[in-house]
Amino acid sequence: MREGLIERYREHLPFEPGDRVVSLLEGSTPLLEAPLLSERVGAEVYLKLEGANPTGSFKDRGMTCAVSAALREGAEAVICASTGNTAASAAAYAARAGIRCAVIVPDGKIAMGKLAQALMHGAQVVALQGNFDMALTMVRELADSYPIALVNSVHEFRLAGQKTAAFEVVDDLGDAPDVLAVPVGNAGNITAYWRGFSEMGTAPRMFGFQAEGAAPLVLGHEVEHPETLASAIRIGRPARGVEAMQAVQESDGAIMDAYRFMAVREGMFCEPASSAAVAGLLKYGHGGAQRVVCVMTGRGLKDQQTAMEHHGGTIIPCEPEMAALVQAVLG
């Protein structure tokens, strides 16, 4: 039987046998070779397919831990600020646990699929007329004053869960890659990978990619009004600072090119934020690495609107007649 990541990695996680575990069988995601991307980058590139997690993003790794820990502490409700994926994941795990969930999202700035997920799982969805950074500041304050467990990646259990992705990469490759490329928003995930690799006694170089309009770690200062098409990483004030990271920024144009390249050439439909890491690799290269792992943090289907606006294809209308069909198909 397949097991969730708390069962699989219990000796590395702060849970005891007998603790109630809330799991949707997250983790154990595929590591896929990317031949065309490898050719363009000039190194062996593998994709860590985190969109294969139950709610379609890497957030489920942290959420199984955060919600299980919240239950253990007797919480009856969880809350998070989110650009969408954390909200979807928190809502799903809270539903599974039978507790309430509130998600605070920047109004009008989250992908529709993620919003649909949060609503379907029965979360209380609050659309804040402000950005993610404001939402996070406010939920932190709220969670300090009321009996609601905060499940953002400022929560240690989130990082504990997310570090297991590094264990899986080392298991699958037999060793750590030379470089790990990952999109960065709040910098929780890159911090978690670094921890995971460190606990395995390895130290790959960490390449963190931010979108040009939302690149506080590259610029070295906060960005008050972050803007990018990659809405998942529209964050101007990351909650986690990171060591051991090289951060670069990529333009929305290059991110959209990488987004299409991955879908058209590699058959991998990821969300725009994930393709920020691919865009960065294509622009800055492998940095002398032989083996690179690029983390595909979320599934493309979550953000159909961006896909429909940037696919570059056409839809051919057709009358229900054979001649018209032949014309439409063969041109």
Handedness of CA 120, 122, 127, 132 (dihedral sign): negative
Taking contact as CB under 6 A, which single stretch among the options 38-46, 193-201, 254-262, 268-276 is the one that binds ligand F0G?
268-276
Least Å from the CB of residue 184 to ligand F0G: 4
Of the pair 29, 297, the CB lying nearest ligand F0G is at 297
List Cα–Cα distances, 251 to 213, 216, 279, in angstroms. Answer: 8, 14, 9
Of the pair 68, 274, the CB lying nearest ligand F0G is at 274
Taking contact as CB under 6 A, which single stretch among the options 13-21, 30-38, 165-173, 178-186 is the one that binds ligand F0G?
178-186
- Quick count: other Cβ atoms within 10 Å of Cβ 18? 6
Distance of CA 64 to the CA centre of its chain: 15
Of 180, 271, 294, 307, which one interacts with ligand F0G (CB under 6 A)?
271
Between CA 292 and CA 281 the distance in angstroms is 9
SS3 260: helix
Are β-strands 77-81 and 44-49 bridged in parallel, bridged antiparallel, or unpaired? Answer: unpaired
> Would you give the binding string for ligand F0G spanning residues 40-79, x where CB under 6 A is met?
-----------------x-x--------------------
> Would you give the binding string for ligand F0G spanning residues 223-262, x where CB under 6 A is met?
---------xx-----------------------------
# of chain residues touching ligand F0G (CB under 6 A): 23
- Quick count: other Cβ atoms within 10 Å of Cβ 30? 14
Helix (H) or strand (E) holding 94: helix 85-97
Beta bridge partners, 98, equal none
Of 229, 242, 230, the residue nearest 274 (C-alpha): 230
Asked if 164 touches ligand F0G (CB under 6 A), the answer is no
* Residues of this chain, 193-222, that bind ligand F0G according to CB under 6 A: none
Least Å from the CB of residue 329 to ligand F0G: 36
Interface with ligand F0G (CB under 6 A): 57, 59, 82-86, 153, 183-190, 232-233, 271, 273-274, 297-298
